Amino acid sequence: MTLKPSPAAALERLVVPKVDHVDLVTVKLPFVAPFGTSVYTWTHKEALLMRLESAGVTAWSECVSDPDPFYFYETNGTARHIIKDFLLPLVEPGIALGELEERFRHVRGHGMAKATIENGLLNLIALQKGQPLHELMGRPAKRIMSGISIGLKGSQAELLAAVERAMAKKYGRVKMKIKKGQDVEWVRAVRERFPDLRLMVDANGDYSLSDTALLKQLDAFDLMMVEQPLSYSDIFEHAALQKELKTAICLDESIHSLADAAAAIALGACRIINIKQGRVGGLMESMRIARFCADRGVGVWSGGMDETGIGRAVNIHLQTAEGFSLPGDTSETNIYFDEDIADPPVVLGPDGFIDIPGGPGLGVRVVPERILKRAIRWERLC
């Protein structure tokens, strides 16, 4: 029997370059409108960025944590601490990225911090080689499916207007946030107005098994899936719920690794997985999870953390990997920011698809003046 090579093999073999300087830069960008979920409403993006400099080449990466631990346990503060005090000391020029990943396993969890370094090194290597990131991954270019995540709104009229705008743009699917008390009737309103819309909901863990009867009512609306209906820390109860629901469950918060994905699938806890590359520790682990799911008929898509243009570009390249079968939370830049820190912004083509930004690395240019304008903290680590 021949073992299939790891889908991340091309990346695992890459060699860590010598890095001359590492900076951590926190930027704060206003959102065009507050983004509401069942766990919190964000009015700004506060992103922890990493800047690597090597022989005159500068590569940026973005940590997908928030300043707060309301969606996920990591924060910009914990990521700074873990990167500075535990992960960076493990980075050694000349070792393979696969070996670096092994070293990182000594630190339990903190995937977002790990992914920040991995993403930065991959971007740096791609820039040095003059290759786009997807090419480094061994994946051909393709056009990427779009999708939008619509936050909780103050009224059904506002929600319907937002869905209407998304449909006019030809987004590949629309996700609407739900929470207790703002669910079945709100979904019904959208479905009645837009009978053919590819629609899904995301509860960010607001429900428990005692809400099963209510969640079953969602089966009436031909949803693509319901994302993370139950607790962020639970897999087992999702398996019990999935047995009761016709609608596919998609896990987001519960999945931190390939092992979590394997457990969830074995238990029947979901039929779809949202991969956020930061939440699972980087692009290599994302590629493994996506292939693992695809081999088992489990749908996969790329989630988002309302990233700036840096993280947004990473998510776009990632979706060239094997297994990304469903439209993700990959939306136009302008739904979050009037002015991003990177150019060009993400835009949808007339058919609702997204082109991979051309050129080496991520294919986007980080604009220094905009970083300076938005920076609230700058720390040189070496």
Q: Which residues sit at the interface with ligand OSB, rule CB under 6 A?
A: 71, 149, 202, 204, 252, 303-306, 329, 331
Say whether 177 is catalytic: yes
End-to-end CA distance of the chain: 47
Which of 202, 206, 237, 340 forms a contact with Mg ion (CB under 5 A)? 202
Q: Residue 38 touches which of Mg ion, ligand OSB, none (CB < 5 to 8 A by kind)?
A: none
For residue 25, give the H/E element and its range.
strand 21-36
Least separation in angstroms between residue 252's CB and ligand OSB is: 5
Catalytic residue among 45, 153, 177, 179: 177
The stretch near Mg ion (CB under 5 A) out of 171-179, 188-196, 250-258, 350-358 is: 250-258
Between 123 and 274, name the residue whose CB sits nearer to Mg ion.
274
H-helix segments, 48-183: 76-82, 97-104, 111-129, 133-136, 156-168
User: Which residue's structure tokens are 């099963």?
Assistant: 212
Residue nearest to ligand OSB (CB): 304
Is 306 a binding residue for Mg ion by CB under 5 A? The answer is: no
Instruction: From residue 354, give the alpha-carbon distance in Å to each of 85, 142, 145, 211, 309.
Output: 38, 9, 6, 38, 14
Say whether 175 is catalytic: no
Q: Residue 304 touches which of ligand OSB, Mg ion, none (CB < 5 to 8 A by kind)?
A: ligand OSB
Is 237 a binding residue for Mg ion by CB under 5 A? The answer is: no
User: Which residue's structure tokens are 């995937």?
Assistant: 111
Least separation in angstroms between residue 247's CB and ligand OSB is: 17
Q: What share of the chain is helix, strand, coil (3-state, %, to 5)?
A: 35, 20, 40
Cβ(59)–Cβ(118) below 8 Å: no
Least separation in angstroms between residue 227's CB and Mg ion is: 5
Residues forming beta bridges with residue 201, ordered by sequence position = 176, 226
Residue nearest to Mg ion (CB): 252
Active site residues: 177, 276
Residues that bind Mg ion (CB under 5 A): 202, 227, 252
